[in-house]
Amino acid sequence: MLVYPAGQSDPIRGDLIIRTVLRSDLTPIPQTVELQFRESAETLALKEGSVMRVGRQGAEFLIVKNSPGGDTGLVAGNQSIRGRAVVGLLASCAPIAQRTQRAIYRRGASLGEIYRACGAQVRIESEFTIDTFCCLKGMTPSFEVAKALQEEAGVLVYVDSRVAFRRLSELLKTTAVVTLNEDSTESVHSEFLEQHHVPFAFSTGVDGGFLSGRAEGGHGVMYRPRADVRILNNLGTALIMRRKLQSDFAPHVLAGMRVDIASKPMVVITAAHCEDGGADGGAGQQYTRLWLGELVK
């Protein structure tokens, strides 16, 4: 994967890149990148607070962490070559990961308006309206956005250099990008964790009576004030990880895409596209890891 520092038209030389991981997730910041490289004059521009472009879509990432990456095992003259490691967040969404310096309160605002109120410069396709959004001073907006997305049983996806809102049920209606047999994946299942993380939600109506979502024995209970039955049901709708797999390098497969396993539709929760450049003396390799989820209601 090519890496372009801010304001530069030429990518960093491949022999300086030790490892790149481009990660696609169903989160309020739908893409992140992790990069390890050898220290040199060419990589000095990759500092915290700067922007770099990575990957086939040329997405821009704000570097939020720059730390020592240890000894690369290589020597130049009498000096060992040190490595660095950086983490970048999708630049258009990154401000929502910062703790707020002021309270942000909106009623009847679209998701895009919420992002812009938090300092993000992003256009969100197929967005929805949030009845009430409140993020107090010192809180992190991304956590409150995640709650709003859950109440709509939806996620954000990043495809074709665009951020879009999609409901979980819509993801399963798309065409599968990959079809695999069961024996090509690793099964993951924990009813114990599912009972802890997928709640049974309830609220109270205007008459003081109880409202509840779909009840499921053994699941945790949560109270959501002033919620209707639709929201309560959405709070119990989630993608539960069922399969993991490692495949050949497939950068076109992104979080939110459908993958069929033995004719059973699943959704990519996380796609990590890894490229080990061999700059540390080892053999270079490229591969993709996918975490697949099943929709539960």
Question: Which pLDDT belongs to residue 71?
Answer: 57
The answer as to whether 99 is a domain residue is yes
CATH of the domain at 126: 3.55.50
In sequence order, the β-bridge partners of residue 156 are 165
Question: Which pLDDT belongs to residue 68?
Answer: 87
- Model confidence pLDDT, tens digit, residues 126-138: 999 999 999 999 9
> Which among 112, 114, 132 has a CA at the least distance from the CA of 122?
112
Average pLDDT rounded to a whole number, residues 46-75:
84
Average pLDDT rounded to a whole number, residues 267-285:
83
Please give the helix or strand (H or E) that residue 59 lies within, else none.
strand 59-76
Cβ pair 18, 36 in contact under 8 A: yes
Tokens 């481009």 label which residue?
22
Q: What's the domain range around 110?
A: 95-170
Question: Which pLDDT belongs to residue 6?
Answer: 84
* Same-domain pairing of 161 and 99: yes
- Model confidence pLDDT, tens digit, residues 156-167: 999 889 999 999
Question: Which pLDDT belongs to residue 105?
Answer: 97
The pTM for the full model equals: 0.89
The answer as to whether 255 is a domain residue is no
The answer as to whether 12 is a domain residue is no
Average pLDDT rounded to a whole number, residues 25-40:
95
Instruction: Quickly state the pLDDT bin for 67 (edges 50, 70, 90).
Output: very high
Cβ pair 40, 16 in contact under 8 A: yes
* Same-domain pairing of 101 and 157: yes
Question: Which pLDDT belongs to residue 174?
Answer: 96
Q: Is 272's pLDDT higher than 60?
A: yes
Give the whole-angstrom CA distance, residue 273 versus residue 85. Answer: 17
Question: Which pLDDT belongs to residue 79?
Answer: 59
Domain final residue, candidates 185, 213, 235? 235
Largest CA distance in the chain: 80
Average pLDDT rounded to a whole number, residues 13-22:
91
The answer as to whether 225 is a domain residue is yes
Give the whole-angstrom CA distance, residue 218 versus residue 255. Answer: 30
- Model confidence pLDDT, tens digit, residues 83-98: 899 999 999 999 999 9
The answer as to whether 8 is a domain residue is no
Amino acid at residue number 3: V
- Read off the tokens for 118: 């938090």
Question: Which pLDDT belongs to residue 69?
Answer: 72
Instruction: Quickly state the pLDDT bin for 282 (edges 50, 70, 90).
Output: low
Sort 21 into a burial class: Cβ within 10 Å, 0-12 / 13-18 / 19+. Answer: middle
Instruction: Quickly state the pLDDT bin for 42 (edges 50, 70, 90).
Output: confident
The answer as to whether 270 is a domain residue is no
Number of domains in the chain: 2
Give the whole-angstrom CA distance, residue 284 versus residue 113. Answer: 43
What's the angle, vertex CA 251, arms to CA 61 and CA 295, rounded to 5?
95
* Same-domain pairing of 105 and 160: yes
- Read off the tokens for 278: 């061999």
Which stretches of 77-215 are assigned E, i.e. beta strand?
79-90, 104-110, 124-125, 129-135, 154-159, 162-167, 178-180, 186-187, 200-204, 210-212
- Using H for helix, E for strand and C for coil, what is the string for 135-154? ECCCCCHHHHHHHHHHHCCE
What's the angle, vertex CA 265, arms to CA 264 and CA 269, rounded to 5?
130
* Same-domain pairing of 101 and 159: yes
* Same-domain pairing of 156 and 210: no
Mean pLDDT estimate for the chain: 90
* Same-domain pairing of 155 and 206: no
